[in-house]
Amino acid sequence: MSITIQKLNKHFGSFHALNNINLNVPTGKLVSLLGPSGCGKTTLLRIIAGLENADSGSILFDGQDVTRKHVRERKVGFVFQHYALFRHMNVFDNIAFGLTVLPKSERPAKEKIRAKVEELLQLVQLSHLAKAYPHQLSGGQRQRIALARALAVEPKLLLLDEPFGALDAKVRKELRKWLRDIHHELGVTSILVTHDQEEALEVSDEIVVMNHGRIEQTGTAESLYRQPENAFVTEFLGETDAFEGRIEKGEWHYNGFRWPLDNTRKWQEQTATAYVRPHEWAVAENGATPMLSAPIETIHSAGALTHLTLKENKRDVHITFADSDAARLGLSGGQNLALVPKQLYIFSQNELIDFAI
């Protein structure tokens, strides 16, 4: 089922929670709403579900307007951060619950309910826990059961609100892969709310980056990472360091370092900020003017990578080298390192004006 959202607005008193939201979710895709706390992503999810009403705008499921339809009519499945399993019911009955409370005219026969629950237990790889109770399960197991329960009613749309937020890092990573595999197998249209960039990048077909009730950018993980449209998206999708320079004569200047811009355009002289990610630095060749020349403050080896902190004008700049490169360079604390960027994202007044690799 495809989802189309048109000119959606929502206020809570004087607070503009959602500001002119337009979004398309193609059939069968897993789309993440990614952004900081308070950006509007959960409010948008609740409006799509029918748990909140928008002030204006429309929501279409497969081209049909459902804006005023009750949540029960939308055929949506939910998975929340805090499981919401019934403590007095065992795993089997928790999964079956949504089917057993359907109106009699829609309720499957007991044999069909049993078969469906057994099928879902196999899907989430927890058949051996059918008779267990929620307090006997780990956090990861509870969340798998919550997903199975949401899928039992065969929703046209699956909504997941920070489903792994209460779990530890190792379990989150395992469940992200598991969710991706489940989605590939079932192909149900899904929308995931998360503030975790790694989670969104790992599981999503598309990512919607939100901030202050607006959509900043929509795209695949690769397109957002490689071609961010503004400074917020650049900063939010991973660690970066910002350098404020100037555009003069078709080049971006910083401390004597010059980066040529697109020579087919006429550039206005202005201040502009360039962003560099830690792994996008290289040692300056002999005779080259470095963009950054500063002493190494700290060195930390983490498996295949070595993380450096350089001290430039009383601020920290973060650098990452492959461990083999760090060993070849013979890096040590206090050593001065001269670096040039392999890639820059340059913004003026928050709008991307140039990026190059």
pLDDT per position as a tens digit, 130-183: 999 999 999 889 988 999 999 998 999 999 998 887 777 888 888 888 889 889
Do 128 and 153 fall within a single domain? yes
Residue 116 pLDDT: 94
| CATH code of residue 339 | 2.40.50.140
Residue 103 pLDDT: 87
- Find the Cα–Cα–Cα–Cα dihedral 198, 202, 203, 208, rounded to 10°: 60
C-alpha–C-alpha distance, residues 268 and 323, integer Å: 41
| CATH code of residue 72 | 3.40.50.300
Q: What is the mean pLDDT of residues 110-131?
A: 94
User: Among 182, 204, 233, where does a domain finish?
Assistant: 233
CA dist 18 to 13, 72, 89, 342, Å?
12, 24, 38, 37
With b for 16 or more beta-carbon neighbours within 10 A and e for fewer, the 110-133 pattern comes to eeebeebbeebbebbebeebeeeb
C-alpha–C-alpha distance, residues 29 and 188, integer Å: 7
Residue 345 pLDDT: 93
Q: Find, among 249, 248, 253, the residue nearest to 273 by Cα.
A: 253
Do 271 and 135 fall within a single domain? no
Do 296 and 148 fall within a single domain? no
Do 228 and 246 fall within a single domain? no
pLDDT of 356 > 60? The answer is no
If phi > 0 it is left, if psi is from -120 to 50 it is alpha, else beta; for residue 178 that is alpha
C-alpha–C-alpha distance, residues 182 and 197, integer Å: 20
Sign of CA dihedral 57, 61, 64, 68: negative
What is the DSSP annotation of 196-208? -HHHHHHH-SEEE
Confidence of residue 267 (pLDDT cuts 50, 70, 90): confident
Residue 316 corresponds to which tokens in the numbers above?
């920290």
Do 280 and 213 fall within a single domain? no
Q: Find, among 243, 281, 247, the residue nearest to 262 by Cα.
A: 247
Containing domain of residue 81, as a range?
Answer: 3-233
Residue 28 pLDDT: 96
Do 34 and 166 fall within a single domain? yes
pLDDT of 357 > 60? The answer is no
- pLDDT-above-90 percentage for the chain: 76
In angstroms, how far is the first alpha carbon of the chain from the final one?
38
Tally of structural domains, the chain: 2
C-alpha–C-alpha distance, residues 322 and 338, integer Å: 17
Do 305 and 197 fall within a single domain? no
